[in-house]
Every structure is written in C-alpha cells, then in structure tokens.
A and B are shown apart, each in its own frame.
Chain A
Amino acid sequence: MHHIQLGAIDYVILIVYFAFVLGIGWTLRRFVKSGEDFFLSGRAIPAWVAGLAFMSANLGAQEVIGMGASGAKYGMMTSHFYWLGAIPAMVFVGIFMMPFYYGSRARSVPEYLKLRFDEKTRGFNAITFAVMTVFSSGISMYALAKLLELVLGWNFNVSILTSAAIVLVYIFLGGLTSAIYNEVLQFFLIVLGFLPLVLLGLKDVGGWAGLTAKLQTVATQAGFAPGAWSHSWRYVGNAHANPMGVEWFGLVMGLGFVLSFGYWCTDFLVVQRAMAANSMSAARRTPLLAAIPKMLFPFLVIVPGMIAIALHVTRGGLLPLGADGTPNYNLAVPVMLGHYLPTGLLGLGLTALMASFMSGMAGNVTAFNTVWTYDIYQSYIRPGQSDTHYLRMGQAATIFGILFSVAAAYVTTRFNNIMDMLQLVFAFVNAPLFATFLLGMFWRRTTGHGAFFGLLIGTGVAALHNGLVLPLGDVPGIKGGFLGTVLHTYPSEMAQNFWTAIFAWTACFAATIVISLLTKRNKSDEDLKGLVYALTPRLKDRESPWYKQPATLGVIVLGLTVVLNVIFW
C-alpha cells in the first residue's frame, strides 16, 4: 500500500513524547528504594491517578487497533465490550472485590489466592498469568511494529526494538510508579491525539445522522438489516441477524458476565493499579473513576472504525484488501489517521498510537515482574532473601520479561483480528478464574483443593470445547476443531470465544462446589478474616462525602451506562 508521508514536525512530536516518558522514569528513579516502591508504588498513589492508570494499562493494541477494527467489522455492537462488559465488571471489582484485594495486603492477585486457598492454586495462577502476560505484551508489540511497517514503511525490527527499549528503561528506572505516571500521560495523549480524528471524520460524513445513513449501505451490502451497523442491541435476537454472529444469551453471559468479569476482576495487570492506591477508599474508587472515561471510549476508538467502513463502502476503497478479498480491518484506525490528519496533527495521532501500545505493554511488564518476583521466584526459587535482593530481581525480570515479549511478538503472525486471539487466550485462563474468585470471596466453604482442581477442570473444558467446535468458514487448527471432530459450527469466532468462556466458567463453578463439599476445609474462619465477604467487617463509608462513596459512584456509573445502552439500542 501507499505509505503515509511524515514531515519533520511529526518526528519532533514523537521525540518530545519519548523524551517525556524517559524523563519521568529518570526523575522517579531516586524514589525507588524498596521492593514495595518498585512493585507497588509504595501504596501511595491518589485515586484519580490510579484510576486513569487502571484504564490506560488496558489501552493497548487490543483497544485502539482492535476496537477500531471491530467497529468496522461489527459496527456499534462493539460497544458491548464497554457498556455491557467492562463497566459493570469495573463497578463490581471496585465495590465488592477491592475490600479483599486491598484489605488482605496481598501484593498480587496470585498472592491473594495463596492467602485464601493454598500454594498450588497460587502457583497455577502465577505461572499461567506470567505466560499470558508475556504473550499479550508480545501481541501489542507485534501489532505496533506491523502497523508502522505497513502504514509508514518503518522497519519492523527497529520499531519493535525501539518501543521495547523505551518501556524497558522507564520501568527499570522507576518501577510501577513510572509505569503509572506514564499511563496517565499516555491516557491524555491518546484522548487528545484521537479526538481530532473523530471530530473531522464525523464532520466529513455529515455527523451521526450521516454516518448511520452510510452504514445502512454497509449493512445491506453485507446482507443484514439496514440498522445492523448502528444499533447495539436491536439485532441480537438471532445470531445470524447481526455481523458479530452472536445471540443475546451468548453475548450477555459470555461477554457481559464471564469474560469481562474474568478480565477486570481477576487480571493482575489492572488490579495492580488499584492495589497501589494510597488507601482502601482510593483503591475502591480506582475502578469506579476509571469507568467514567471508559464509558466514553467507544466514541474515541469504535467510531473511527465505523467511519472508516462507511467511507470504504460508499466512497470506495479506503481500506486495503487482504488476501481473501475482505478489507484489512486492523488498518482502519491508521488509515483514518493518514486520511484526515495533516503533517503536525498526524505526528500527534501517531504518537497517541505509540502511547497506547506503550501503556499496554508497560502494564504487562509491571504485572509480570511482580508476579515473577513475588509469586514464582520468592515462593519457589529463592525464598527468604533480603528486600534489596528481590528489588534487583524485579529489575532483572523487567529485562527478561521484555525479551520474552519480543520473542512472543515474532511468534504472533497468524491472526487477522488480534482481539479474537486475545479473547481466546482469556477464555482459557481467565474465564474459569472468575468462578474461583466468586466462590472464594463469597462462600467460606470453598477449599484449596476445590479451587485448584476446579480451575484445572475449567481450563480443560475451555480447551476441550474449543477443540470440538469451529467458527464458520475456518479450517480445523489453532482456531478450533483441533481434536479431530467438529461437533458444532459457530457463526463467528467471537461467538465461539464467548461460548468457550461460558462452558469454562460453568465447569469451574460446578467442579469447585462439588470438590469443596467433598474435601475438608483447609482454612478456618479465623484464617479467612478479611478474605471472605461474610467474615470481613463491613466498611463504613457513610462519613465521607457522596462523591467519595464507592456505592454512590457505582450507582451513578451504572445509571449512565444504562442510558448509553438505551440511546444506542
């Protein structure tokens, strides 16, 4: 394809950004004196900073590129990832789960599992999480480098190594604080870098009304009802009536409940930001404050994809075609940047893209180095060393974590839509995990054996389900059907992933209950104080002003989300 030409001014903007992220790492390096400083920011982060970092750490490749791609591919239904998935889960983690995470003083999610259940459950979670994290970070890096190569003609290897080196330096120097501060900076850069694109795009297509009119052509050409690209709920009655290929039950249970709660409530990458907050109240408000910008993000990341497909179909050939003749959806956002932004703002938009990749990657790297150091190295390899020893190990883990990610980036070359791949990985590991946490936090009878074998069974069922089904039009292989026989064919990969998650969660939930009832409790009520709902004193937040009360914030956030769902029904 034709490369977008950059001017000197665009490079100046990019370099200013690089200088600032490195500068933040450099300035913060003298505050890193202990393990707690490096891994937990000394638990001194104010709620709004932790909140923006909480949201930004998740703003990696899957968000900006993947959501733009999904916006083009599935239209307004992509908003379910936010208004059905993320927001309710974020409210839940803030109000109901944070008291146990923060209150237990656990330093990581696996460590909570050790306190609540036992060593093997922690070990299983720590190892799967470490592997998954390295992979996510590799996918981000791959996506970034591939895009820059395609859109700008930059060298794939140079892009990967440069972005990896910058993230490495600022985390190595300043630890989690540096990652969090940069995530806040990156958050503003992403918003201010992409907003002009949305505004110009909407102005060009004639506002929201003009966009929906053009999307009718897109929908009818693809063989759907005219409104299929501009409504989120109207066509989910039947899986074949909407571009995502899912029906309401799979959507609500698979995405809205299992996958979203599994991700936002148990993934240490995001939970770590809240654990770094400076008080229990701040930790609980972290996901709630993050939910407010989060609910507006569809307008920033999904709408550009929708505009791109509208222009592609009605004005012809905006998006380059892939080998199979379908548009390359992953290019929706970068192509739009080149289409609307002149030299100058183009540099800003590109820098925003870079910032999103870096924030996602830094999130993965800080989560990895903490889990590696505390939950693997300190637990199984070298226990009982000094704090300085573990601090040094954390810094070393930052380096080899990034090296592993770079390796993973080179492995990641087989998927057209990165989102689907990530959903697949999350379905195997995260979906059963949420059942374990739910039972662990709200049912004191849940035992260590129940949790561990429940998790194994859940993950096994995820793999089994995936091995026996296939998305429509795919051949058996990594995408499914690898067990030889295909028992069921889903209308889309997305639907398959949602159902894998539902099966995995249900299997883990049921197996954990049955095994817990058959095994002896390994923790007494005394041990479980502060770890289980019924055994933890209620938090009093009546005294604080209303805007600082988690429950009040949660109700407001949920109310606004309902309104958004209704408007774009």
Chain B
Amino acid sequence: MKLDVRLPIGMMFTLLGAILVVYGLVSDRSIYARSLGINVNLWWGLVLLAFGLVMLAFALRGGRRGDAGAP
C-alpha cells in the first residue's frame, strides 16, 4: 500500500487533540460561559487525542503486518 490513510489522520488528530488539551488547561475559565460552563476544549481535546492515537495504532499495526507479508 502506498500510504496508509490512517497515518496522517492519526497524526493530525493527535496533534489537534494535544493542542486543545493544553489550551483547555491554560485558558481562562470565563471563555466557557458560552459552552454552558464546561471546559469543552479539555474534554473534547481528550476525545480527539484518543481517536488520533487509536488511528495511529491501527496504522502502525497495519504497516507492520504489511512488512511481514512482503517477500
């Protein structure tokens, strides 16, 4: 396979998740008034991070399997 599409997807969401988590930790609480008082940057950042890591894991596992199958 030329490029496992899960690799860039995993990388991007891991990066975006990390950015949002860090921002959620350092940002001023007052900006969360509009999101009903929930620190959505932190929580949704964690969701993105988890999704990104799962995609990366799939991509790496798939890549290893591909190598093993090659002659």
Q: Could you tell me which A residues sit within 8 Å of B by CB distance?
A: 9, 12-13, 16-17, 20, 23-24, 27-28, 31, 44, 49, 177, 181, 184-185, 188, 192, 196, 200, 203-204, 339-345, 348
Within 8 A of A (CB), among B21-62: 23-24, 27, 31-32, 34-36, 38, 40-41, 44-45, 47-48, 51
Chain A residues near B16: list those with CB within 8 A.
13, 16, 348
In Å, the complex CA distance between A190 and B11 comes to 16
Q: Which of B8, B13, B48 contacts A181 (CB 8 A)?
A: B8
In Å, the complex CA distance between A345 and B34 comes to 12
- Given the contacts A339-B34, A340-B34, A342-B34, A192 and B47 also touching, CB distance less than 8 Å: yes
Q: Do A16 and B12 have beta carbons less than 8 Å apart?
A: yes
Interface presence of B3 (CB below 8 A): yes
Write the chain B residue with the least CB distance to A180. Answer: B5
Q: How many A-B residue pairs have CB under 8 A?
A: 85
Q: Do B9 and A184 have beta carbons less than 8 Å apart?
A: yes
In Å, the complex CA distance between A567 and B14 comes to 36
Interface residues on B, range: 20 to 34
In Å, the complex CA distance between A66 and B20 comes to 29
Q: Do A343 and B27 have beta carbons less than 8 Å apart?
A: yes
Q: Do B51 and A192 have beta carbons less than 8 Å apart?
A: yes
- Given the contacts A184-B9, A192-B13, A344 and B34 also touching, CB distance less than 8 Å: no
- Given the contacts A13-B19, A20-B12, A192-B47, A342 and B32 also touching, CB distance less than 8 Å: yes
In Å, the complex CA distance between A16 and B14 comes to 11
- Given the contacts A16-B19, A28-B2, A23 and B8 also touching, CB distance less than 8 Å: yes
Q: How far apart are A145's CB and chain B's nearest CB, in angstroms?
A: 24
Q: Do B19 and A12 have beta carbons less than 8 Å apart?
A: yes
In Å, the complex CA distance between A342 and B13 comes to 19
Grouping DSSP codes into helix (H, G, I), strand (E, B) and loop, the A interface class, with mixed when no group exceeds half, is: helix
Which has the most chain B C-beta neighbours within 10 Å: A12, A28, A181, A339? A181
Mind listing 20 A-B residue pairs with CB under 8 Å?
A9-B23, A20-B11, A23-B8, A27-B3, A28-B3, A31-B2, A44-B2, A181-B3, A185-B5, A188-B13, A192-B44, A200-B36, A340-B36, A341-B35, A342-B34, A342-B40, A344-B24, A345-B20, A345-B44, A348-B48
Chain A residues near B15: list those with CB within 8 A.
16
Q: Do B20 and A20 have beta carbons less than 8 Å apart?
A: no
Q: Do A344 and B3 have beta carbons less than 8 Å apart?
A: no
Q: How far apart are B34's CB and chain A's nearest CB, in angstroms?
A: 6
In Å, the complex CA distance between A24 and B5 comes to 9
Chain A residues near B51: list those with CB within 8 A.
188, 192
Q: How far apart are B6's CB and chain A's nearest CB, in angstroms?
A: 9
Q: Which of A181, A204, A345 contacts B40 (CB 8 A)?
A: A345
Write the chain A residue with the least CB distance to B15. Answer: A16
